[in-house]
């Protein structure tokens, strides 16, 4: 890694290094909670101190640029995807435009390739990271915004079959069950182990915001849960406070309606101006809120890249094979060529099974022109965020022949995804 004269690359190794990094991030990321770095390093099993790296100014010995390589696991249907996230990246204002951020990314790329990760993600500033191959793909915080008066009042206060209470440690198995039930609706979701559930329920923080986990209990059985927090300040936010539900899993319409009525009561108690319900379109709480007149805000998106497409396609092989079952392509034997203008990937199917995935390099001959997808559009397709018609409308370079279109759409269907909080 090349650095300008007067700078030195290093890792977080000691307690003093960690304290200095936290102070640095408090300056660069003033709106965030820099203590989250300490929680992550001390508690997340896949994150160690040396996953946090920095550049020092040799003249005064201070950190002037830093980043973190944060491992996690996402799921593609039931298939684990290893993810390496570029997090907490920043440079002091007076040291920008010196190539320091690019040097940090070079080191991050070395970790990414060495670890053979399936995907890499960033929750960073727009446009800048496109130079490294990232683009906005999956939703980060899609939400439905609902005014309090849009929620109907309960008709009979005396007849309540649901008890709302804060979750405790013994509820975690049921929380896991409900989270998994909701996640089965998704193409891609974040894995959350029992250990991670316990960490999150110990700290009750989503980034810089404190939250509460509420369970719905009916006749001694947990039938739903949600997490909520209160955001904003009247001093700094013109619209005042709002109540945010960052995730939920509630099965029945009646329970969803009772939850909204409970949230209305809490919103009045907290003197909030609205309720935000975060989740995909297939989330029941979001769906009912939208039907009540709530406004959909698409929010931010994860910036994602797939560093090695053949490796990714090999990993999701079971899902691709399952997508063929029960369709006109069940049991097929044929090749599918995916031309990205830079690479051509050949997927060879034998009796409905994906036998091989090969990269045969750049190809310009007619044989490989029936399905052409620019690299980032291919990522959008395989992660289910767009269908072929949407991609064609947005980018004329996306081309799929009429003959090939049914197979492409069978293998890579458009489906909702939702990445719930996966830190501590």
At residue 159, the pLDDT reads: 53
Can you spell out the DSSP letters for 198-215?
A: HHHHHH-EETTEE-EEEE
Find the largest Cα–Cα distance for the chain: 74
At residue 175, the pLDDT reads: 98
Task: Give yes or no for a contact between 244 and 228, defined as CB atoms under 8 angstroms apart.
Answer: yes
- What domains can be seen in the chain, in order of their start residue? 7-138 (3.40.630.30), 143-299 (3.40.630.30), 308-411 (3.30.1050.10)
Measured CA to CA, the distance from residue 131 to residue 136 in angstroms comes to: 13
> Has this prediction a pTM greater than 0.95?
no
The low-confidence residues of the chain, meaning pLDDT below 50, are 236-238
Average predicted confidence (pLDDT) for the chain: 94
Which among 147, 43, 117 has a CA at the least distance from the CA of 305?
Answer: 117
Beta bridge partners of 371: 400
3-state secondary structure of 408: helix
Structure tokens at 305: 């890249």
Which among 138, 34, 40, 25 has a CA at the least distance from the CA of 90?
Answer: 25
Measured CA to CA, the distance from residue 298 to residue 278 in angstroms comes to: 10
At residue 4, the pLDDT reads: 87
3-state secondary structure of 354: strand
Measured CA to CA, the distance from residue 368 to residue 366 in angstroms comes to: 5
Among left, alpha and beta (phi > 0; psi -120 to 50; other), residue 181 is alpha
From start to end of 115-158, where are the E strands? Answer: 119-122, 135-139, 143-147
Radius of gyration of the chain (CA): 24
Question: If you ran DSSP here, which 8-state letter would residue 110 be given?
Answer: H
Whole-number Cα distances in Å, 82 to 70, 72, 306:
11, 6, 11
Tens of pLDDT, residues 216-239: 999 999 999 999 999 886 554 446
Structure tokens at 161: 């079959």
Structure tokens at 173: 């198995």
Which residues 6+ apart lie within 8 Å of 217 measured at CB?
162, 163, 164, 165, 223
Which residues 6+ apart lie within 8 Å of 142 measured at CB?
278, 279, 280, 281, 296, 297, 298, 299, 418
């Amino acid at each position: 890694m090349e650095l300008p004269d007067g700078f030195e690359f290093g890792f977080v190794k000691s307690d003093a290094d960690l304290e200095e990094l936290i102070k640095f991030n408090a300056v660069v990321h003033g709106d965030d909670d820099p203590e989250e770095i300490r929680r992550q390093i001390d508690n997340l099993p896949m994150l160690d101190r040396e996953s946090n790296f920095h550049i020092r100014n040799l003249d005064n010995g201070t950190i002037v640029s830093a980043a973190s390589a944060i491992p996690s696991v996402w799921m593609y249907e039931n298939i684990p995807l290893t993810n390496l996230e570029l997090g907490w990246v920043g440079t002091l204002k007076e040291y920008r435009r010196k190539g320091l951020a690019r040097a940090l990314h070079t080191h991050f790329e070395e970790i990414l390739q060495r670890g053979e990760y399936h995907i890499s993600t960033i929750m960073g500033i727009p446009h800048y990271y496109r130079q490294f191959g990232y683009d906005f793909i999956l939703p980060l915080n899609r939400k439905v915004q609902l005014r309090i008066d849009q929620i109907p009042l309960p008709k009979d206060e005396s007849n309540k079959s649901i008890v709302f209470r804060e979750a405790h440690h013994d509820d975690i198995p049921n929380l896991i069950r409900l989270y998994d039930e909701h996640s089965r609706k998704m193409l891609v979701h974040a894995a959350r182990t029992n250990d991670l559930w316990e960490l999150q329920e110990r700290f009750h923080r989503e980034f810089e915001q404190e939250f509460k986990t509420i369970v719905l209990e009916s006749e001694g059985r947990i039938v739903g849960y949600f997490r909520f927090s209160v955001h904003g300040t009247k001093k700094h936010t013109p619209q005042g406070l709002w109540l945010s539900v960052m995730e939920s899993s509630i099965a029945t319409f009646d329970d969803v309606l009772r939850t909204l009525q409970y949230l209305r009561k809490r919103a009045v108690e907290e003197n909030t101006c609205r309720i935000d319900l975060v989740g995909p379109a297939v989330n029941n709480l979001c769906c009912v809120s939208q039907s009540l007149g709530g406004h959909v805000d698409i929010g931010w998106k994860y910036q994602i890249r797939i560093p090695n497409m053949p490796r990714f396609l090999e990993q999701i092989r079971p899902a691709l094979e399952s997508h063929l079952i029960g369709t006109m392509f069940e049991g097929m034997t044929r090749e599918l060529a995916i031309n990205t203008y830079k690479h051509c990937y050949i997927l060879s199917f034998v009796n409905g099974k994906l036998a091989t995935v090969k990269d045969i390099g750049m190809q310009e001959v007619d044989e490989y022109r029936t399905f052409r997808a620019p690299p980032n559009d291919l990522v959008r397709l395989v992660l289910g965020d767009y269908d072929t018609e949407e991609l064609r409308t947005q980018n004329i370079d996306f081309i799929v022949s009429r003959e090939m279109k049914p197979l492409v759409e069978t293998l890579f269907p458009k489906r909702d995804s939702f990445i719930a909080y996966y830190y501590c």
